[in-house]
Amino acid sequence: MRTVSPVWPIIALAVGGFAIGTTEFATMGVLPEIADGVGVSVPTAGHAISAYALGVVVGVPILSFFVAGLPRKTLLLALMGAYAVFNAASAIVSSYGLLLVARFLDGLPHGAYFGVASLVAANLVSEANRGRAVAGLMMGLSIANVVGVPAVTWFGQTAGWRAAYLACGALALLTVAMVTLVVPHQPGDPSATGRAEASTFFRSPQVWLTMAAGAIGFGGLFAVYSYIAPIVTDVSGLPKGAVPFFTLAFGLGMVVGTWAGGELAHWSVFRSLLLGGVGAGVALLAFWALAPRGWWLWPATVLVTALGSVLVVNLQLRLMDVAGDAVTLGAAMNHAALNVANALGAYLGGVVIDAGYGYRSPAVVGVVLSFVGVAILLWSATLHRRTAPKPAFADSWS
């Protein structure tokens, strides 16, 4: 399906990305407040980040299985409506255990929304411009970290962490209104079934390798982002009020990296993945070195996130390419992989902190995860060279 101008529909879809990005990353900015509010340590409160991420991972295959053939606009509205409800639930829970449940439920619509929205965005433009269309959608996620997360972090520090989740729910409702008004109807594929998509998708070795590269390699970013608040205050020696400026740094890096990822996709999707992975690993080394040096950590934070974010758009495109006929599942599973990265990074970062290595140590974990992700990509390339004729390799891996 094509429209005369895709601009407003893509903006509406990006607002949904803004709502999701603000919700997902705001937890990191108010993690100490959450810990105090539910009576647990900061590393233990970090499990709320992992619970959300696991909700994304579980939600993608389950929801994709049942919705593959349904109209896409209807799906977008239902998913974002559920997102608003579960944000509200997160704001009113009375205990740590219930918070984990609410965060898990809130994660369920995340990946499915981005998967369906990516298909809608790509279907609004020509084949040559699909990278830019998907990047435009993802830009909402990036801008959330420039505007939404710092604002909600400040709001949560001022009015309480529960108010932060209520604000995120309001953004989800705004998305429902905008999608209703400007996104055109796009029918689903009546012949598509969850069983058929899953059978096609999960039998591909390249699918598994691509998801593993994202799940492990992108975890390096989350290893440091999950604990950015105590890193800024305890390691860099900056005041609590500096934390929103560092969530802003993550946002600026994501905007630059998402734009660059869309442009680099025209050069080479696969080589862009390698560039992002290696660059993120090197940048995390710089993050570790500069962490005790106060505001010098700020540009390192921008660099880590910019290079890491190159992966997001190109992993999305890569999975859509290798998915075959399983387009709904292929478009959505990128976000399952990235949220495995979220959970893995937050968990391993908490492990080394609890082991007594300090809040600086998650950066070292991040370096290792980034380079393991690069190794998996190289494995993927080697496997493809062995199983595909050279012309096919040149075309599909350009």
CATH number for position 309: 1.20.1250.20
Residue 161 lies inside a defined structural domain of this protein: yes
Residue 2 lies inside a defined structural domain of this protein: no
Q: How many domains does the chain have?
A: 1
How many other C-beta atoms lie within 10 A of the C-beta of residue 137? 27
Q: Which residues contact 138 (CB under 8 A, 6 or more apart)?
A: 14, 17, 258, 261, 262, 312, 313, 316
Residue 1 lies inside a defined structural domain of this protein: no
Residue 231 lies inside a defined structural domain of this protein: yes
**pLDDT higher than threshold 80 for residue 330:** no
- Are the C-beta atoms of 66 and 196 separated by less than 8 Å? no
Structural domain of residue 300, as residue ranges? Answer: 7-396
- Residue with tokens 């075309």, as numbered in its chain: 395
Lowest mean pLDDT among 28-37, 48-57, 385-394: 385-394
Structure tokens at 43: 């590393």
**pLDDT higher than threshold 50 for residue 2:** no
The pLDDT-based confidence of 1 (bands split at 50, 70, 90) is very low
Residue 149 lies inside a defined structural domain of this protein: yes
- Are the C-beta atoms of 345 and 365 separated by less than 8 Å? yes
> How much is the average pLDDT of 110-115?
84
* Percent of the chain as helix, strand, coil, to the nearest 5: 85, 0, 15
Choose from 144-153, 224-233, 240-249, 385-394 the range with maximum mean pLDDT: 224-233
Residue 334 lies inside a defined structural domain of this protein: yes
Residue 19 lies inside a defined structural domain of this protein: yes
- Are the C-beta atoms of 362 and 227 separated by less than 8 Å? yes
> Which amino acid, residue 163?
A
Q: What is the DSSP letter of 183?
A: P
Determine the pLDDT at residue 67.
65
Structure tokens at 166: 């209520």
